[in-house]
A and B are shown apart, each in its own frame.
Chain A
Amino acid sequence: MTAIIHPDAGADRIGAQARQAATRRVHGLSDRSIAWLFVAPTIALLLAINIFPLIWMIRLSFTSLNLSMSYLPLRFVGLENYSDILTDDDVWIRLQTTARFVICSVALQVVIGFGLALLINRQFRTHSFWTTIILLPMMLSPAVVGNFWTLLFQPQIGPFNYVIGLFTGIPPSSFSMTGEVALAPWTIVLVDSWMWAPYVMLICLAGLRSIPDYIYEAAEVDRASAWRQFWSITLPMVMPFLMLAVLFRAIENFKMFDMVNLLTSGGPGSTTELVSITLKRAAFEKWRTGYSSALAIILFVTVFGAANIYVKALNRVKQR
C-alpha cells in the first residue's frame, strides 16, 4: 500500500488519474453501483423489519382484530379504534402519568448530571476513575436494574428502607417504595435517574470541555464575577449539549417499558402504568390487536414529532 504521495510526482499523478478514470470501470464496479450495492441491504432490512410491519399495523388499526377471538371475521371499523382511544379517560390518565414521569425524571437527571459535570470539570485527581464508576449504571440492562431494585426496596429485608430508617427513624417495614400509591411514582423517577443522570453528565462534560479557556480569561480581565461567568459563558455554551441530552432522555423515557415493568409492573393499581405498559397489556394480554395498533400509531406520531425536533437540535450541536 502506498498512501504517501511524493510532491514531485504531481504530473505523474494527473496522468495516472486520467488512466484510472478510464480503466476503473474495466477492473471494478462503478462508484455509483457500489454506492447502491452498499446501501441497499441496510435499506432492505429496515423495509422488511420496520416499514412493512408498520404499514401492516396501520391497516390493522382500522380493524376490530382480536387475537384471542381470531375465529371472528376481520371487520373494518374505520376510525372507531382511534376515536375510542382519544375519548377514553383512562388513556389520557396514562399519558399524564407518562408525562409526569418524563418531566420529573429528566429534570432530576439534568440537575444531578449538570451538577456532577461541573464538579468533575474541575479536574481533581482521580476524576477519570470516578467518572467511569459513575457511568456504570447507564450501561446496564434496564430490565435487570428494575428487577434487582425490587430486592433493594423490600420493606423488611431491603437495604434501602433500612438505610432510610437509620437516618430518619421511620421503621423500615412501615413503608414500601414500590407498593404505595404516594411513593411508587417517585420510585420509578429515582431508579431512572440513578441509571441515566450519568448520561446527562457525560454530555454536559463534553459541552464544558468545548468552551475555550480564553473566554474565561477575557471575562476575568473584565472582572466578571464567578456567578456572572456561569450565567453568561458556561450555561449558554453548554446549552446545546444539554438540550440534546434532554431530548434524548425525553424520547427514551416516553418509550419506557422494561425497567418500570419489572420494578412496579405499573402498580400499585395503575399509579405507575406508563403508556407503553398500557400498550403491552392491550396487545399482549387482552390481545386487542386492532385497538392496540391504533394506540401504537398514535404513539409513533408523537415520537416522530419529537424526533424531528431532536434532529434539528442535533444538527445545531454538530455545526458548532
Chain B
Amino acid sequence: MTTVAKSTAHSVVEATPRGKAVAGAIVILYAVIAILPLLWIAATAFKSQSDAIAYPPKVIFQPTLEGYVNLFTVRTRQTREFIANLPPATTWYDKLVRNHDMVIAGPSKVVPRFINSLVIGFGSTFLAVLLGTLAAYAFSRFRIPLADDLLFFILSTRMMPPVAVAIPIYLMYRQLNLTDTKIGMILLYTAVNVSLAVWLLKGFIDEIPREYEEAALVDGYTRLQALRKVVLPQAVTGIAATAIFCLIFSWNEYAFAVLLTSGDAQTMPPFIPFIIGEGGQDWPAVAAATTLFVIPIVLFTILLRRHLLRGITFGAVRK
C-alpha cells in the first residue's frame, strides 16, 4: 500500500485523483459492509415472527409492527372461540395481536427498564460532571500537592475489570441495602464516570486562557464568581461533550448492571437479551428494542464527532 501517490505535477501531499478514487472506493465498501449488521437489525424489527426466522434470510418482506407491539406488551394465547366472544378490538395493536390468536394481557417491563436507563444515566452523568468540573478546575488552576499522582489514581480506578470491582461492591451494597436500587447504580456509575470527566474537563479547562479569570479577579470577582461567570461559559462545549460521553457509558454499561441488579433498577442492556416469546428469543421484539436503544447513540455520535477522539483517549489526543 502506498501512502503518498507518486506525482510530480501537483502537490506531493495531496493524493492524485486516481489515488483518491481508489481510497474512496475501498473505504465506502468497508463502511457499507460494517453498517449492514445494524441495518439488518433495524429491518428485523419490522419483520413478522416467521419472516425473521425464514430460510433463506429475507431481504424483501412485508413490514409489520408486530415486533414493536410484542416488545411493549405481554400477551396470552387464547382459543379462537374466546377471541370471537370478546368485544371487537378497538386499537390497531389489539387487532394485530388477535390475528395470531393472542390477547394483550398488559404492558411489558420494557418501559420501566427504559426509565431506569434514563434515570440512572442522567443521574450519574449529572453527578460525575458536577464533581468532575470542580476537580478539573482545581487541578487545572491551582497547585495541588501530588497532583500527578492524584490524577493517575483517578484514572487507575477505571482500569479495573468491572467483574472484579463488582465482587466487593456486591457485598458492600448487600450490607447497605443498596443492591438493585437506582441510587446504588447511580453512585457506582458516577464513580466510574468521574475519572473520565476529570481528565476530559481538565483538558478543556487547560485550553481556556488564565488571563480571562485573572482579569475578572482584578475586577473584584471572587474565585467562585470568576469560575461561574468566566470559566464555565467558556467551557460549556467541553462540559456538554463530557456529559454525553458519561451518558453513553452509563447507557451502554452491562457488567455491573447484570451482576448488581435484577428487577427494580435493571437497565436496558441486561434486559434486551431476555425478551423472549413462545420458544426462544422473540427476534423482532429484540431487534425493536435494540433499534430504540441504539438510535440515541447514533445521534450522539454525530453530535460528538468533533470531540470523539478526545473522549475515547481520556483527553490524551486532541487533534
B188 touches A49 (CB 8 A): yes
- Among residues of B, the one whose C-beta sits closest to the C-beta of A17 is B218
Chain B 37-81, CB within 8 Å of chain A: the 1/0 string?
Answer: 110110010000000111111000000000000000000000000
Per DSSP, are chain B's interface residues mostly helix, strand or loop, or mixed?
A: helix
Interface residues of B in 279-295 (CB under 8 A from A): 281, 283, 286-287, 290, 293-294
Alpha-carbon distance between A159 and B39 when the two chains are bound, in angstroms: 12
Query: CB of A3 within 8 A of chain B?
Result: yes
A43 touches B150 (CB 8 A): yes
Chain B 289-306, CB within 8 Å of chain A: the 1/0 string?
Answer: 010011001101110010
Interface residues of A in 293-310 (CB under 8 A from B): 293, 296, 299-300, 303-304, 306-307
Query: CB of A244 within 8 A of chain B?
Result: yes
B165 touches A53 (CB 8 A): yes
A248 touches B313 (CB 8 A): yes
- Contact A31/B132 with A141-B254, A244-B317 known, Cβ cut-off 8 Å: no
Residues of B within 8 A of A37 (CB): 134
Query: CB of B86 within 8 A of chain A?
Result: no
Chain A 200-213, CB within 8 Å of chain B: the 1/0 string?
Answer: 00110010010001
- Contact A152/B215 with A45-B194, A226-B5, A283-B167 known, Cβ cut-off 8 Å: no
Chain A 222-239, CB within 8 Å of chain B: the 1/0 string?
Answer: 000111011000100000
Query: CB of A107 within 8 A of chain B?
Result: no
B308 touches A50 (CB 8 A): no
Report the contact-size class of chain B (Cβ under 8 Å from the partner): 35 or more
Task: Among B23, B40, B165, B218, point to the contact of A152 (Cβ < 8 A).
Answer: B40
Alpha-carbon distance between A122 and B293 when the two chains are bound, in angstroms: 34
Residues of A within 8 A of B270 (CB): 143
Query: CB of B278 within 8 A of chain A?
Result: no
Chain B nearest CB: distance from A238 CB in Å?
A: 10
A31 touches B171 (CB 8 A): no
Report the contact-size class of chain A (Cβ under 8 Å from the partner): 35 or more
- Contact A283/B294 with A158-B57, A230-B3 known, Cβ cut-off 8 Å: no
Residues of B within 8 A of A54 (CB): 160, 168
Residues of A within 8 A of B253 (CB): 141
A34 touches B138 (CB 8 A): yes
Residues of A within 8 A of B273 (CB): 143, 147, 262
Task: Among A17, A53, A123, A213, point to the contact of B20 (Cβ < 8 A).
Answer: A123
- Contact A234/B168 with A147-B290, A279-B163 known, Cβ cut-off 8 Å: no
Chain A nearest CB: distance from B99 CB in Å?
A: 22
B198 touches A42 (CB 8 A): yes
A136 touches B161 (CB 8 A): no
Query: CB of A167 within 8 A of chain B?
Result: no
A-B contact pairs, 7 of them (CB 8 A): A1-B216, A130-B28, A133-B34, A198-B34, A206-B319, A284-B170, A289-B171
